[in-house]
Chain A
Amino acid sequence: MKFMLMMHAPRASGEYQIGSWTPDEFKAHIAFMHDYNNALLTSGEFVAAEGLSPPGAARLVRGGATGETITDGPFAETKEFLAGYWIIDVESEQRAWDLAAKASMAPGPGGAPLRMAIEVRQIMSSPPPRG
């Protein structure tokens, strides 16, 4: 079963929180993510993972009445933003939850776990069921 784990990071005063960390805190965080991804590769559960650029310049885009491009944002007020995601292929929903809990514990300032909210959604399969 494939799942998407979406990492919702808390947003500081209008900008990317991680930018205010010390170099060591930043390094510890990156090392955690690196090891986390490697563990997924080794267990044969990795499908994809990407970090997203800071939300400061994010825009919402819609098509207008004649299909023209309408942009909105950035939104300084949002409390949380999508910092990155994983797509994993695991045996059970419980396994996806356990992996999400692990990612949630990535270290932040002072090395303390960030306990970020990780949204877990099953990816719909394309093959229809037997019938």
Chain B
Amino acid sequence: MTSPARRTLSHLLRDLAPQVLGGVMRRCRDFADAEDAVQDALFAAATQWPIDGIPQNPRGWLYQTALRRLTDQARSNSARREREAVVARESPVATESEPMVADGIMFGGDDTLVLLFMCCHPSLSEPTAIALTLRAVGGLTTREIASAFLVPESTMAQRISRARQTIASSAVSFEMPSAAERAHRLTSVLRVLYLIFNEGYASSSGADVHRVELATEAIRLTRALHHLLPDDAEVAGLLALMRLTDARRDARVGPHGELIPLDEQDRTRWHSEAIAEGIALVSAALRLGRIGAYQLQAAIAAIHDEAATMAETDWPQILAFYEVLADIEDNPIVLLNRAVAIAMVRGPAAGLAAIDALGSDPRIQAHHRIDAVRGHLYAMTGDAQRAAIHLQQAAARTSSMPERNYLLAKAVRLLAARALTAS
């Protein structure tokens, strides 16, 4: 099997994974056992299909293989798995000759949604919810997830196993949340998908082709969610935000891994197809009239992406969106970004005044970005000395290596230019 064919196969398997798991969970209510069985079935498919060819009904094949795996487990380990053995006896296991249950009965599209709600349950910590979602809904192996987060496989296995225990002990059931609960639970799902995207977004330039692309995976999962909930404006907003941000991926990192800021990016390297899709998504979402933070961030990203040059950016429009965003979301980064937009519309002095007006909010004062923004705004005023001081302070406090390098390089550049004009 050629390499693209292998990629297609792995995408097919990952698309089917949550549907098969949903189907299996209707027979076996133990999430950990069901999940293990589905992983086994995925592994079997990944080894057999390249040789035997893809079966006519791949989903049914995976489902039956997983169920067989479950009964094998139950038989061989009857003490601990007595409960599953009972389930298996009560519901006869499908065999190769048994007719396939029609689609839509055994496999509901809702299963993927229910699984997402379950894996992103608020009782789970964010790192565990992320790991569980990537495995159970994303169909990734523990090894792939571990390598994406640069931790040992045994550590990731423990995280997943603890997540399953939390689910079992908090009696989170494989059911659609009630209508009253749903909005709140959907917020957790979107947050987890957003975090997966953020984690992966930047490392996407890495040379290791075998490393799972978290940003791509987040987009795939969010797209699946959007298909299931096409009328949810925030789901569409998040998908739009991811597409519009990811569109700049090739332009934002230089050949040596250095960070290239928006105003210095080669915009011809932005992906126009992703931008077009993102703009269409966010425009449609905004028309639904249920404004949310993801839609607003997507709208701002869209304005940046639409501008052929930094100078052509519609900053008054961006500022207007930040004003709304600051009203609905109590987030220090939003306030800092609004200050940048103010500077771009009314000049750097107004931007600096806006930052001063944020006052003593400890969340802002503690954040390295307040100094980064001050540094950029002082640079705009021509005060290289003060700009460099703030940039260096920001560099000392960021935890991101490429950002630190970028801030220091900018400070050095400003001071060198100043020395040149002075001499």
- The answer to whether A and B interact is yes
Q: Chain A interface (Cβ within 8 Å of chain B)? A: 1, 41-48, 89, 91, 122, 124-131
Is B77 part of the binding interface, using a Cβ–Cβ cutoff of 8 Å?
no
Q: Chain B nearest CB: distance from A98 CB in Å?
A: 15
Report A122 CB to chain B, min CB distance, Å: 5
Chain A's nearest CB lies how many Å from the CB of B215?
Answer: 10
Query: Which 6 A-B pairs give the minimum distances between C-beta atoms?
Result: A127-B202, A44-B159, A128-B402, A44-B158, A124-B401, A128-B259
Of chain A, the residue at the smallest CB distance from B156 is A44
Majority SS of interface residues in chain A?
loop
Q: B259 and A131: CB pair below 8 A? A: yes
Assess A129 versus B155: contact at CB under 8 Å? Given A89-B149, A91-B126. no
The CA-CA distance from A99 to B198 in the complex, in Å, is 27
Answer whether residue B199 sits at the interface, using C-beta atoms and an 8 A cutoff: yes
Excluding A47-B150, A126-B400, 18 further A-B contacts by CB distance (< 8 Å) are A41-B155, A43-B162, A44-B127, A44-B155, A44-B158, A44-B160, A45-B155, A46-B152, A89-B127, A91-B125, A91-B127, A125-B401, A126-B402, A127-B203, A129-B202, A129-B400, A129-B403, A131-B259
- Are A130 and B152 also in contact (CB < 8 A) when A91-B126, A125-B399 are? no
Specify the chain B residue showing the minimal Cβ separation from A127. B202
Specify which of B127, B151, B199 lies most central, judged by the most chain A CB atoms within 10 Å of its CB. Answer: B151
Contacts of A41 in B (CB 8 A): 154-155, 158
Q: Do residues A130 and B202 form an inter-chain contact, with CB atoms below 8 A?
A: yes
- Chain A residues whose CB sits within 8 angstroms of the CB of B399 once the complex forms: 1, 122, 124-125
Q: A124-B400, A126-B402, A130-B202 are in contact. Are A42 and B245 (CB under 8 A)?
A: no
Q: Which residues on the A side are within 8 Å of B253 (C-beta)?
A: 128
Distance of B410 from chain A, by nearest CB (Å): 13
Assuming the contacts A91-B125, A124-B400, A124-B404, asked whether A130 and B156 have C-beta atoms less than 8 A apart, the reply is: no
- In the complex, A44 Cα to B259 Cα: how many Å? 31
17 contacts between A and B (CB under 8 A): A41-B154, A41-B155, A44-B159, A44-B160, A46-B151, A46-B152, A46-B154, A47-B150, A47-B152, A125-B399, A125-B400, A127-B199, A128-B400, A128-B402, A130-B201, A131-B252, A131-B262
A43 touches B158 (CB 8 A): yes
Q: Which residues from chain A contact B154 at a C-beta distance below 8 Å?
A: 41, 46
- Tell me the minimal C-beta distance from A104 to chain B in angstroms: 23
Residues of A with C-beta under 8 A to B203: 126-127
Interface residues of B (CB under 8 A from A): 125-128, 149-152, 154-156, 158-160, 162, 198-203, 245, 252-253, 257, 259, 261-262, 398-404, 406
A127 to B196, CA, bound (A): 13
Q: Could you tell me the distance between the alpha carbons of A129 and B202 in the complex, rounded to whole angstroms? A: 7
Residue numbers in B under 8 Å from A47 (CB-CB): 150-152, 155
Chain B residues closer than 8 Å to A89, beta-carbon distance: 127, 149, 151, 155
How far is B231's CA from A45's CA once the two chains are assembled, in angstroms? 39
Q: Which residues of A contact B262 (CB under 8 A)?
A: 131
Q: How far is the CA of A40 from the CA of B154 in the complex (A)?
A: 11
A116 to B67, CA, bound (A): 53
A43 contacts across to B, CB distance below 8 A:
158, 162
A126 lies within 8 A of B155 (CB): no
Residues A44 and B261 in contact, CB atoms below 8 Å apart: no
Q: How far is the CB of A121 from chain B (nearest CB, A)?
A: 10
Residue in contact with B155 in the complex, picked from A1, A46, A130, CB distance below 8 Å? A46
**Minimum C-beta distance from A120 to chain B (A):** 13
Contact B245 A130 (CB under 8 A): yes
- Which residues from A are CB-within-8-Å of B403? 128-129
Q: How far apart are the CA atoms of A1 and B199 in the complex, in Å?
A: 11
When C-beta atoms are compared, the residue in chain A nearest to B214 turns out to be: A127
How far apart are A124's CB and chain B's nearest CB, in angstroms?
Answer: 4
Contact B158 A42 (CB under 8 A): yes
User: With A and B bound together, what is the CA distance between A131 and B401 in angstroms?
Assistant: 15
C-alpha spacing A48/B257, complex, angstroms: 25
Q: Are A126 and B159 in contact (CB under 8 A)?
A: no
**Interchain CA distance A131-B198 in the complex, whole Å:** 11
